[in-house]
Each structure stands twice: as C-alpha cells, then as structure tokens.
C-alpha cells in the first residue's frame, strides 16, 4: 500500500536555488522538515540555507548538476548519511528554451532532454534502489501542463515534460505495490526568474509563494496528480481532449508573429 500523508522528516528538492523549488524548500523548512536542496548555483543554495536558520526545520545545501549521473548518486548517499533516509524527494530541476520552426536546431532538444528528462531519470536511478528495500518513501516528479499537448515554441520543453508525465504514469502502478508513493506535479505559469523571460502573455500567472503552498498541500494529499492553477489546468485538460483539427485551430493562434 502506498505511503501515507507526509510528516516532517528529511526532504530532498532539486532545482531549489530559485523560483518554485526555493519557495517550496522555505515552506517545508518552516513546517519542520530537514530539507536538502540541490542546484548548480552553490552561492544561491548557501544563501537559502543561511536564511533558514530561524525556521522550525533546516535547509542544507548540496550543490549538484543532475546531468552528472555519478554525482547524483553521491549526493543521495551524502544526504542519507548526514540526515537519514530521504522521506520526500521533489525532482523539480529543469530548464526551458523556446523553439521556432523557422530557427529549428537540435541543440535545445539535446540540452533540455539532458536536464529535464535524463536529469530526473538520474535522480530516480539513485533514489529507487534505496527506497524500494525499505518500502517507504515519496517522490514527486515535476513536469508541466505544457506536457499535455504540443504548444507553439515549446517543442523541446513540451517534449521533455510529456516524457516525464508518461514515465510517471508507467511507474506508479508498480511503485504502489512496492510501498512507495509517486506523484506527478504539473504546474502552469508561475512567476519565477525563468518565466520572467517569456515574451508572451501567460494566462493565470501565479505568484510563486501561492504556487508553493498549493504544491505543498498536494504533497500531503493522496492525489497522484498535483496541478495549479486549477483554471489553467482545466483549459489544458480540455485542449488535450479536443479533436486534432479543433486543437490546432486553437494553438495556431499562439504562433508568434514576425515583427
């Protein structure tokens, strides 16, 4: 049977140097968790850890590039050595690069596959061998509502997020039987340094603290899929169900025009 609701213990959050991962780490530490945070930016991680000294829990920095498979395994080992078993892993690290057909190149696909998709796979490769024998542990895989259906400029990003959604759906039945809880997190637009670069309107843009609160509530629930904001999630689910001609009539309106 899958693990029950989360209680403060040891958590590991990747992609925690800014944005949603950082805000979630702060909320979990305030609730008493010992939070190990990872990202490539070691300075920002240490600043995050220093700022958490007065919280009920604690934040500890573990700088990491998740594209380095051996380094991911070493980091999981170090966290469990120093703070005990990882009760909750949040595989949040990822990046985005827009892709236009008229400027198509393979480089963004390779980079985002290495980070968003294979980086998450490396984390699972390190976590499952330690969680499965003890039949305990919770893992949240952060994908995106952009993984529901192909959207203009998101060919590379959406491809990786759709892959994460499919992988999570494929793994969940077996992990349920093994005593682990796997959750899939599909955020919409959240105001972060990454989305601040977007040159297009972002419907239902959510403040990062509000998004992190919704994220944390979802982690404490029994739901497989955690989505926010719900209105944008509803629209994207509807788009996924539309017949192709109707869906393309909608997404064609989102194609950037030459200026």
Does a structural domain hold residue 52? yes
Kindly state the average pLDDT of the residues 221-245: 93
| Residues labelled catalytic | 157
Percent of the chain with pLDDT over 70: 92
Does a structural domain hold residue 193? yes
Does a structural domain hold residue 220? yes
Q: Which domain holds residue 184?
A: 10-254
Confidence of residue 2 (pLDDT cuts 50, 70, 90): very low
Give every CB contact of residue 106 below 8 A, 6+ residues apart in sequence. Answer: none
Q: Is the pLDDT of residue 64 over 70?
A: yes
Q: Is the pLDDT of residue 199 over 60?
A: no
CATH number, domain at 145?
3.40.50.720
Does a structural domain hold residue 2? no
* Element at 160 (helix H, strand E): helix 155-177
**Which of 191, 218, 196 has its CA nearest to residue 207?**
191
Split into its structural domains, the chain has a count of 1
Does a structural domain hold residue 128? yes
Does a structural domain hold residue 1? no
Beta strands in 44-195 (DSSP E): 58-61, 88-91, 138-142, 181-187
Percent of the chain with pLDDT over 90: 81
Does a structural domain hold residue 4? no
Of residues 222 and 55, which shows the higher confidence score? 222
pTM: 0.91
Of residues 201 and 239, which shows the higher confidence score? 239
């Amino acid at each position: 049977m899958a693990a029950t609701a989360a209680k403060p213990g040891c958590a590991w959050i990747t992609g925690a140097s800014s944005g949603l991962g950082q805000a979630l780490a702060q909320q979990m530490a305030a609730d008493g968790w010992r939070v190990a945070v990872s990202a490539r930016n070691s300075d920002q991680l240490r600043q995050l850890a220093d700022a958490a000294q007065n919280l009920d829990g604690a934040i500890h920095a573990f700088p990491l590039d998740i594209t380095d498979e051996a380094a991911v395994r070493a980091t999981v080992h170090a966290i469990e050595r120093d703070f005990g078993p990882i009760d909750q892993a949040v595989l949040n690290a990822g990046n985005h690069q827009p892709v236009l057909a008229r400027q198509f190149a393979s480089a963004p696909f390779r980079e985002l596959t290495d980070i968003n998709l294979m980086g998450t796979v490396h984390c699972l490769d390190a976590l499952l061998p330690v969680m499965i024998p003890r039949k305990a542990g919770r893992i949240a895989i952060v994908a995106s509502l952009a993984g529901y259906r192909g959207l203009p400029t998101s060919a590379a990003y959406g491809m990786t997020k759709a892959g994460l959604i499919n992988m999570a759906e494929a793994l969940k039945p077996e992990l349920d039987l093994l005593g682990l809880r796997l959750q899939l997190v599909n955020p919409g637009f959240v105001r972060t340094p990454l989305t601040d670069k977007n040159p297009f309107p972002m419907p239902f843009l959510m403040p990062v603290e509000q998004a992190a609160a919704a994220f944390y509530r979802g982690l404490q629930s029994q739901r497989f899929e955690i989505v926010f904001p719900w209105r944008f999630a509803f629209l994207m689910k509807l788009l996924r169900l539309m017949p192709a001609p109707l869906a393309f009539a909608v997404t064609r309106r989102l194609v950037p025009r030459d200026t």
